[in-house]
């Protein structure tokens, strides 16, 4: 019987002997799953990757375009053709990104379910996943896949090719795969934008407030809301035209209290609004209505090649592997940045001076505010949703020599160069220093400066 190396042992063994309990997923089963990435494939064919550490590429605010595996949520070593793979830069070197491997090039997957730290080290406490690629392939195959939901709000498409030539003493196998999917947003499905009253009606909220509800929104002061806020629609005293609390024309204008502003019809108690009555608290903003992605858009391009050539028969052979993969994704998408207060109450350093024209309370709000000052909340909707874009590039090149001295002795030497790099861009964030600078008014001669002269930089 032909000898081969078994995951969990450094020794070549007969196929009738195993050093450790290894589960093997063969090519036939892989092709029947229709999985577009290795993690999805493993989840479909085995029960060992159900923990929350097995993050998928499409999860919002999750894998940043990656797929990671953890056997029983414990550190798991991932090998490619029995060799280690460089960890991803996005995970700070903690995980291997399975999305660098095209599923069309996978011959089989060996899963060592038990811990193997005595052989491989502490990164194999949970076990080992060894992905074996197709090689010595003679032929050509191409596959394509396109999918769309019944609502036509989510699409996926994939193209994969595998080709190779194999002859006496030499072979070359090449595989490439392209995958991309569109975003699926919370606003695309009624189920994901449900209000607290709908949860209660279904008996699923148990009288509680869903985590998607927030108490930080524009126009909130203490437990009051601006009379023209969209969240106050239907309340007695709602005025669609009241979009700001008003503006002071004199930096030294007499301060006003929240009670005075209520009496003037500028603010309304949140408890008196239909949403406040329905929720039973001031947590009345449904953040799912901002259209956060449930599934983030992702694009993957993968290329793998491997080959070998006998130079002096089986006694001296050169071999090599090459891998390149690029993954781009929006990474995450969240509602605009909440500001739960100014200064200590909001866990920030934001401060609104007492002479700010929009500060009708006439007292500093934020760092250094006196006791009893009102708590101001908002959400930076003007900046748009918080989001990120990620681009990850993985490169792996192996060149080596191997041979057989006799029936019992083999030798091998190889050089492995791997690199993983990523670029991440964050959008929708807020710079506290710039906000503080913007809240300092321009005052000249005891009056507000209401016009500004544009200054052009010299050419």
Q: Integer distance in angstroms from the first to the last C-alpha of the chain?
A: 79
pLDDT tops 90 at residue 165:
yes
| More confident: 309 or 345 | 309
Residue 56's pLDDT band (boundaries 50, 70, 90)? low
Please state the rounded mean pLDDT for residues 34-54: 82
Tokens of 173: 């196998």
> Mean pLDDT over residues 309-325, rounded?
95
347: left (phi over 0), alpha (psi -120 to 50) or beta: left
- What CA dihedral angle connects 176, 62, 184 and 148, to 10 degrees? 30
**Is domain 4-183+296-333+388-426 given the CATH code 2.30.30.40 in the classification?**
no
The backbone torsions φ and ψ at residue 277, rounded to the nearest 5 degrees and listed phi first, read: -65, -40
User: Span 320-331, mean pLDDT?
Assistant: 91
Q: What is the pLDDT of residues 381-393, one digit of tens each?
A: 999 999 888 899 9
Sheet architecture: strand order including 224-226: 267-269, 224-226, 220-221, 376-379, 338-339
What angle is formed at CA 241 by the lines to CA 237 and CA 244, rounded to 5 degrees?
95
Whole-angstrom distance, CA of residue 100 vs CA of residue 82: 16
pLDDT digits (tens, 9 = 90+) for 259-288: 999 999 999 999 999 999 988 899 999 999
With a cut of 80, say whether residue 356 has pLDDT above it.
yes
The residue that leads in pLDDT, 14 or 249, is 249
In the block, tokens 């197709």 appear at 134
Give the per-residue pLDDT at 57. Answer: 58
Tell me the backbone φ, ψ of residue 84, rounded to 5 degrees.
-65, 150
**43 close to 54: Cβ distance less than 8 angstroms:** yes
Question: Are residues 20 and 114 in contact, defined by beta-carbon separation less than 8 angstroms?
Answer: yes
Dump pLDDT digits (tens) for 223-265.
999 999 999 999 999 999 999 998 999 999 999 999 999 999 9
What separation in angstroms does the CA of 1 have from each of 12, 16, 17, 67?
A: 12, 9, 11, 36
**pLDDT number for residue 452:** 55
The residues facing 417 across adjacent strands are 397
At 141 the pLDDT is 95
Residue with tokens 């006003």: 256
Looking at the predicted structure, is the pLDDT value of residue 116 above 70?
yes
Instruction: With a cut of 80, say whether residue 318 has pLDDT above it.
Output: yes
- pLDDT above 70 covers what percent of the chain? 91
What are the pLDDT digits (tens) for 422-440?
998 989 988 999 999 999 9
Mean pLDDT of the chain: 87
Whether 14 has a pLDDT exceeding 50, the answer reads: no
Q: Return contacts of 254-263, CB within 8 angstroms, 24+ apart.
A: 254/362, 255/354, 255/360, 255/361, 255/362, 255/363, 256/360, 256/361, 256/362, 257/361, 258/221, 258/222, 258/224, 258/361, 258/374, 261/224, 261/360, 262/224
Give the pLDDT score at 455.
43
Q: Are 128 and 79 within 8 A, CB to CB?
A: yes
Distance CA 181, CA 122 (A): 36
């Amino acid at each position: 019987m032909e000898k081969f190396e078994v995951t969990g042992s450094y020794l070549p063994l007969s196929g009738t002997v195993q050093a450790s309990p290894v589960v093997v997923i063969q090519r036939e089963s892989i092709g029947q799953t229709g999985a577009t990435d290795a993690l999805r494939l493993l989840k479909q064919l085995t029960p060992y990757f159900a923990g929350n550490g097995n993050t998928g590429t499409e999860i919002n605010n999750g894998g940043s375009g990656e797929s990671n595996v953890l056997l029983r949520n414990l550190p798991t070593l991932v090998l490619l053709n029995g060799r280690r793979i460089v960890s991803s830069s996005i995970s700070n070197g903690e995980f291997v990104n399975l999305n660098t491997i095209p599923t069309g090039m996978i011959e089989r997957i060996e899963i060592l379910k038990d811990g193997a730290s005595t052989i491989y080290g502490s990164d194999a406490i949970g076990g080992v996943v060894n992905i074996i690629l197709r090689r010595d392939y003679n032929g050509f195959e191409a596959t394509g896949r396109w999918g769309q939901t019944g609502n036509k709000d989510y699409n996926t498409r994939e193209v994969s090719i595998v080709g190779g030539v194999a002859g006496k003493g030499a072979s070359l196998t090449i595989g490439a795969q392209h995958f991309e999917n569109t975003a699926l947003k919370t606003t695309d499905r009624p189920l994901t934008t449900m209000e607290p009253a709908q949860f209660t009606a279904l008996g699923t909220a148990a009288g509680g407030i869903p985590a998607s509800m927030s108490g930080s929104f524009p126009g909130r002061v203490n437990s009051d809301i601006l009379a023209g806020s969209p969240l106050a629609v239907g309340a007695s005293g709602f005025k669609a035209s009241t979009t700001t609390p008003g503006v002071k024309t004199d930096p030294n204008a007499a301060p006003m209290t929240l009670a005075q502003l209520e009496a003037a019809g500028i603010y309304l108690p949140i408890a008196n609004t239909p949403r406040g009555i329905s929720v039973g608290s001031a947590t009345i903003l449904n953040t799912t209505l901002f259209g956060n992605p449930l599934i983030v858009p992702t694009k993957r391009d993968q290329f793998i090649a491997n080959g070998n050539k006998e130079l002096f028969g089986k006694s001296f052979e050169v071999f090599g592997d090459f891998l390149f993969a690029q993954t781009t994704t929006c990474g995450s998408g969240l509602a605009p940045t909440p500001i739960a207060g100014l200064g200590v109450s909001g866990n920030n350093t934001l401060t609104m001076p007492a002479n700010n024209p929009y500060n009708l309370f006439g007292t500093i709000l934020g760092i250094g505010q006196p006791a009893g000052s009102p708590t101001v909340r908002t959400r930076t909707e003007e900046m748009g949703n918080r989001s990120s874009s990620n681009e990850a590039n993985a490169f792996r090149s192996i060149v080596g020599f191997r041979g057989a001295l006799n029936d019992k002795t083999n030798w091998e030497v190889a050089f492995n160069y791997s690199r993983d790099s990523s670029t991440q861009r964050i959008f929708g964030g807020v710079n506290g220093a710039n906000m503080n600078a913007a809240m300092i008014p321009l005052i000249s001669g005891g009056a507000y400066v209401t016009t500004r002269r544009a200054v052009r930089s010299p050419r």
